[in-house]
Structure 1
Amino acid sequence: MIWPITTGLIAGALWALAFIAPGMIEPFGATDLTVVRYSVFGASSLLVLAFLRKKIWLPILRSNWLLILILAITGNTVYYLCLSESLQRSGTLLPTMIIGTLPVVMAFLGSLRNKTFSPARFLLPALFIMGGIVSHALHSYWSGPLVSTSELSVIGLILALAALASWAFYGIRNAEFLTQEKETNIVAWTALTGVATIVTLIPVAALLPSGPHSILQGATIGSGTLILWGLILGLLSSWVATWFWNIASRSLAGDVLGYLIVSETVFAIIYAFIIEQRLPTATELINVTLLVSGVSLGIRAASKGSRHQNDVNLYGQEGGGGA
C-alpha cells in the first residue's frame, strides 16, 4: 500500500504546479495555458502510442473508446471550462472553497460505492480537512481585497459545483475501471486519455474565454514563457501526474484516493511559500497541519475499514470468527 500512496502523493505534488503557473505567464491568461498544456499532453501521448505496440493499446481503444472520451471530458476539458468560468464570474474565494471539498466528496462517494462507509470513521478526517480548507480560504480572503458583488454570482456557484461533480466522477469512474480491468496497460491508458483530451479540447477551446493578449488572438510577445510552462504542465502535471494517479487508482479504494487529493492543496501552499521566499505564518502552519492530519486519519480509518470488510467477506460474519 505504501507505493500506491506514494504515487498518489506525487501526482498531487505535480498537479499543484498548475496553481503557480498562471502567475508566471503574464500577460497571457489561464485559457492560453490550458490550450498549450493539453496540446502538449495530447501530442506527447500520440508519441507514446507510436512507440507502444498496437496490440497493447488498440484493443483498449476499441473496447473503451467512449469511456476514454468521457473521462477526458470530465477530468480535463469540462472541468476546466466550468472552473475558469466560475472564477471569472464569482472571483477566487467561492470556487476555491467548493473545489476544496473534493477530497471529502471523493472519500465519501468512494466509501459508499465500496460499501465501506462508516460515519464514525469518516467524520473526524472530514472535519480536519474541511477545517483546514475553510481556514485557509478565509485567511486568504481576510488578507486580500474586499469581496466584490461578482462573488455572489449564482451562475458562478452552479459552475463551481459542476466542476466539482465533473472531476469527482472522473476520479471515481477511472479508479473503478482500473481496479476491475487489471490487465489494462496503465501507460497505454494514460496515453489514450491524453489523445482523447486534445480531441475534446478542440471544440471546447472555442468556448473558453480569452483575453486581448492571447495566442488564440495571434499574440506572440512573451510566448516563450507560456510555452515553457505549457511543457512543464503538459508533461509533468498532465502526463506524469496522470500516470502516477492511475497507478494509485488501480490499487487504492476510492475513499483513500479522495484523501490523497489533499496533497495537491498542501503542495500548492508549499510552492507559494517558496516563490514568496518566506516561512508560513502560524495560521498557515495550522491549516497545513489540519490537512495533513485529516489525510493521515482518513487513510488509517479506510485501511481499518478495508480489513474489517475483508474479514466479513472471508468468514461470513463480523469479528472473523468461525461459523
Structure 2
Amino acid sequence: MGAGVAFALAAGMMWGLVFVGPLLLPEYPAALQSFGRYLAFGLIALPLGWIDRAEIARLTRSDWIEALKLALIGNLVYYLCLASAIQRAGAPLPTMIIGTLPVVIAISANLRNHQRDGRLPWARLFPSLLLIAAGIACVNQAELATQTERSTADLARYASGVLFAIVAVACWTWYPLRNADWLRHHPGRSPRTWATAQGLATLPLALTGYLLLWLWLAVDGNSFPMPFGPRPFAFVGLMAAIGLFASWLGTLCWNEASQRLPTALVGQLIVFETLAALLYAFLLRGQWPAPLTFLGIGLLLAGVLWAVRNK
C-alpha cells in the first residue's frame, strides 16, 4: 500500500506540469498543444515499445482496442478540453474543477467496483470526501471573487472555460475506472508495457489530428506559423518534456498505483495532481497563495490522509 501511495504521489507531481504548459505557451492553440503533447508521447513510446517488444507482442486485438479508447478519451480529448479551459479561465479555477476528480472518481468507484474491491461504507468514505470538497471550495473562493470585475465578453470566455473543464472531468472520471479494470483483470501484465501501449495507440491519433489542424489553419487563412509555431524551440522542448514526464512516466506511475490499490482509494489520491498544479502555478506567478488557499490545501491533505487511514 505504501508503494501504491508513493506511485500515486509521483504521478500527481508529474501530471501537475500539464497545467502550466498552456500558460507558458498562451499564443499556441489548445488543439496544437494537445496534439503536440501526445505526438511527443507516441514518438517516445516507439523506442520503448521496441525494447519491450516481447511483452507488447502478448497484447491481443481487444487489448489494443481498449488502449485506443483510453488514448482517445483519457489523453487527447481530456487534454484538449483542459488546455482550452486554462487558456479561457486561467489556471486556478480549471485546476480546482479538475480537483473534484478525487471526489467524483471515489464515489463512482465505490458504486461501480464494489464487487471487485469491496464497498467502503459511505459513513467512512464521506469524511475524506467532505474534507477534499471543502478544500476545493476554499481555493476557488478567491479566484471566483475576481470574476465580478470582468466585462461581459470576458465572462463569456470564462464560462466557456468552465464548461471545457467540466468535460475534462467527465473524460478523466471514465479513464481511471476503465484503466484500472484492465490492470486488475491482467495482474500478470506489466504496468510499464500498458503505459507504452497507450503511447503507441496515441501516436496515429495525435499525428492525424496534428495534420488535420495544420490543413484547417491553412484553409482558414490563419497566419499562425506551422508546424511548430512562433517559438519552435520552446514548443518542441516543452512538448517533449510533458510527453516524457507527464504522459509516459506519469501513466506508468499511475498504472503501478492502480494495480496495487482499490480504485476508490486511488481515485482520491489524484488530489496530488491538484496540489502539484497549484504549487507550479503559484511558482510561475511568483507569489504566495492567499491564506484561504493555504487553508484549502490543508483540507485537501487532511482528506487524503483520512482516505488512506480508512483503507
Contact in 2 for aligned 1:61/1:192 (Cα 8 Å): no
- Do residues 191 (structure 1) and 191 (structure 2) align? no
2:178 corresponds to? 173
Q: Which has the larger radius of gyration?
A: 1
- In structure 2, the CA distance between the partners of 1:139 and 1:94, relative to structure 1 (3 Å rule), is closer
Contact in 2 for aligned 1:108/1:255 (Cα 8 Å): yes
The 5 Å alignment of 1:38-49 reads 38-49=38-49
Q: Which runs of 5+ in 2 are unaligned?
A: none
- Do residues 150 (structure 1) and 128 (structure 2) align? no
Helix, strand or coil: the match of 1:78?
helix
CA displacement 1:78-116 (0-9 Å, x = unmatched) = 223344455677777875554331110111111223321
Helix, strand or coil: the match of 1:16?
helix
The 5 Å alignment of 1:222-301 reads 222-301=231-310
Provide the C-alpha distance between the structure 1 equivalents of 2:108 and 2:230, rounded to a whole number of angstroms: 45
Between 111-120 and 255-264, report the one with greater CA deviation: 111-120
Could you state the TM-score of these two structures normalised by the residue count of structure 2? 0.85
- In structure 2, the CA distance between the partners of 1:230 and 1:84, relative to structure 1 (3 Å rule), is closer
**Offset, 1:235:** 0.4
CA displacement 1:262-305 (0-9 Å, x = unmatched) = 0111111112333334433321211110111111112222x1xx
- In structure 2, the CA distance between the partners of 1:60 and 1:163, relative to structure 1 (3 Å rule), is same
Helix, strand or coil: the match of 1:280?
coil
Provide the C-alpha distance between the structure 1 equivalents of 2:237 and 2:44, rounded to a whole number of angstroms: 15
- In structure 2, the CA distance between the partners of 1:233 and 1:273, relative to structure 1 (3 Å rule), is same
Provide the C-alpha distance between the structure 1 equivalents of 2:137 and 2:71, rounded to a whole number of angstroms: 29
**Offset, 1:151:** 5.5
Provide the C-alpha distance between the structure 1 equivalents of 2:93 and 2:276, rounded to a whole number of angstroms: 21
Between 128-137 and 218-227, report the one with greater CA deviation: 218-227
Provide the C-alpha distance between the structure 1 equivalents of 2:281 and 2:69, rounded to a whole number of angstroms: 33
**Offset, 1:160:** 4.1
**Offset, 1:122:** 1.9
Could you state the TM-score of these two structures normalised by the residue count of structure 1? 0.82
- In structure 2, the CA distance between the partners of 1:207 and 1:89, relative to structure 1 (3 Å rule), is farther
2:135 corresponds to? 132
**Offset, 1:203:** 4.1
**Offset, 1:62:** 3.3
Provide the C-alpha distance between the structure 2 equivalents of 1:91 and 1:283, rounded to a whole number of angstroms: 19
Task: Say how many residue pairs are matched.
Answer: 299
The amino acid of 1:170's aligned partner reads Y
1:163 corresponds to? 168
CA displacement 1:143-174 (0-9 Å, x = unmatched) = 46526441685x76665443222211110111
What percentage of aligned pairs have identical amino acids?
32
Contact in 2 for aligned 1:107/1:255 (Cα 8 Å): yes
Contact in 1 for aligned 2:130/2:303 (Cα 8 Å): yes
Provide the C-alpha distance between the structure 1 equivalents of 2:135 and 2:102, rounded to a whole number of angstroms: 12
The amino acid of 2:291's aligned partner reads A
**Offset, 1:49:** 1.0
The amino acid of 1:179's aligned partner reads R
The amino acid of 2:301's aligned partner reads V
Between 179-188 and 160-169, report the one with greater CA deviation: 160-169
Contact in 1 for aligned 2:7/2:254 (Cα 8 Å): yes
1:80 corresponds to? 79
Q: Which runs of 5+ in 1 are unaligned?
A: 304-323
- In structure 2, the CA distance between the partners of 1:20 and 1:149, relative to structure 1 (3 Å rule), is closer
